[in-house]
Amino acid sequence: MKIAVLPGDGIGTEIVAEAVKVLNALALPLEMETALVGGVAYDAHGHPLPEATLKLAKEADAVLFGAVGDWKYDKLERQFRPEQAILGLRKNLGLFANFRPAICYEQLVGASSLKPELIAGLDILIIRELTGDIYFGQPRGRRIATDGHFPGAEEAFDTMRYSRPEIERIAHVAFQAARKRSKRVTSVDKNNVLETSQLWKDVMVEVGQQYPDVELDHMLVDNAAMQLVKAPKKFDVLVTGNMFGDILSDEASMLTGSIGMLPSASLNSSNQGLYEPSHGSAPDIAGKGIANPLATILSAAMMLRFSLNQEAAALRIEAAVKKVLEQGFRTADIYSEGTTRASTKEMGDAVVKALA
Ligand code: IPM
Ligand code: MG
């Protein structure tokens, strides 16, 4: 089982080191190879996703990814910015299905900005389409407008587009995921305004007919954003497009108290996957040893489950994470009075210990 380890920028190196430590402690036949990605890759090789890194990722069974980005690259031309690395990996590996679970751990109910009764027991799964939509749609660019409100003015444009097969395949992913949970799917779109959303909704309904045991409902994205903070537990599986999914998954992450707890998986049709925490590179706290490694450790568990077929090992990691929370270990982002402050490394060590 070959894993490409891509720590990236900022806190990426610190949190990935802890996840690697946990993986090593499992004593499985895992072959791990590390490569540069993001800003550090740009600094070393002039590109955020060097050929060698892409090759390693393509040949691996799974990619364990940290985070990319730093303000110091903000002025670079877009193609050289660290974010292009993750977009390039998604595109080149065909990682169209993004799983972002939002689970509220019992011990962290108080860490959310929402009232405890709204989020206690929260367990929702956001499935975001990841290789289409306005993120990748062509054409895009800048030009001088020839029509619109200001002909002759400079304008910029992007293209929101979805094809039927792109929607069909993510619909199947959502319905199949729902079958393993409470058999409910909420499809989120903006069909009252957008053509892409109307096609999205039509295809969801069609594919849904193949899953009579799963209940499908539809919600407009603005309403979904509101319902997520009003009554988040009403959702179970939420499926949506790339752009809406980007926004709603950040919103959902905060329901759980800390974005530092949330893993994610991005899969292609052969179950090859990229696994990364839902949070970013947090350059403001990089190098201080205070970042929460649990999202990355939980991402490693998802990797074992989805790409490496090691369900038992995945469960072991998840149980160990629960245990360290019960024991009271807390990194700064989830610290509260009466708990034990842990550094990034201490948290990783505690998880390794809890595995046994
Ligand atoms: C995410 C991130 C990325 C995205 C950025 C870093 C390009 O926000 O994974 O949600 O927009 O998809
Ligand atoms: Mg995002």
Active site residue 58: no
Name the active-site residue from 189, 190, 201, 333.
Answer: 190
Q: Is 135 a catalytic residue?
A: yes
Q: Does domain 113-132+160-256 have CATH number 2.60.120?
A: no
Nearest CA to ligand 1 atom 2: 246
Nearest residue to 295 via CA among 261, 319, 266? 261
Mean pLDDT of the chain: 96
Domains 1-97+262-356 and 113-132+160-256 are alike in CATH topology:
no
Percentage of the chain exceeding pLDDT 90: 92
CB 267 within 8 A of CB 307: yes
Ligand 2 centroid – CA 247 distance (Å): 6
* CA 345 / ligand 2 centre spacing (Å): 26
Task: Quote the tokens at residue 69.
Answer: 């980005």
Q: Is the CB of 155 under 6 A from ligand 1?
A: no
290 is in an annotated binding site: yes
Catalytic residue list contains 250: yes
The SS3 assignment for 110 reads helix
Q: What does the pLDDT look like over 74-118, one tens digit per residue?
A: 999 999 999 999 999 999 999 999 999 999 998 888 888 899 999
Cis peptide bond prior to 139, omega within 30° of 0:
yes
| Atom 12 of ligand 1: nearest residue by CA position | 246
- The 10s digit of each residue's pLDDT in 305-346 is 999 999 999 999 999 999 999 999 999 999 988 999 999 999
Task: State the distance between the two ends of the chain, measured CA to CA, in whole angstroms.
Answer: 23
Long-range Cβ contact pairs of 268-273 (< 8 A, separation 24 or more):
268/93, 268/94, 268/95, 268/96, 268/97, 269/94, 269/96, 269/169, 271/306, 271/307, 272/60, 272/61, 272/62, 272/93, 272/95, 272/307, 273/62, 273/63, 273/95, 273/302, 273/303, 273/306, 273/307
**Mutate which of 81, 86, 89, 242 for ligand 1 pocket (most atoms within 8 A of beta carbon):** 86
Q: Which residue type is seen at 89?
A: L
Architecture of domain 1-97+262-356: 3-Layer(aba) Sandwich (3.40)
Listed by start position, the domains of the chain span 1-97+262-356, 113-132+160-256
Between CA 268 and CA 97 the distance in angstroms is: 7
Query: Which H/E stretch holds residue 320?
Result: helix 311-326
pLDDT at 26 over 90: yes
Taken as a whole, the chain contains a residue count of 356
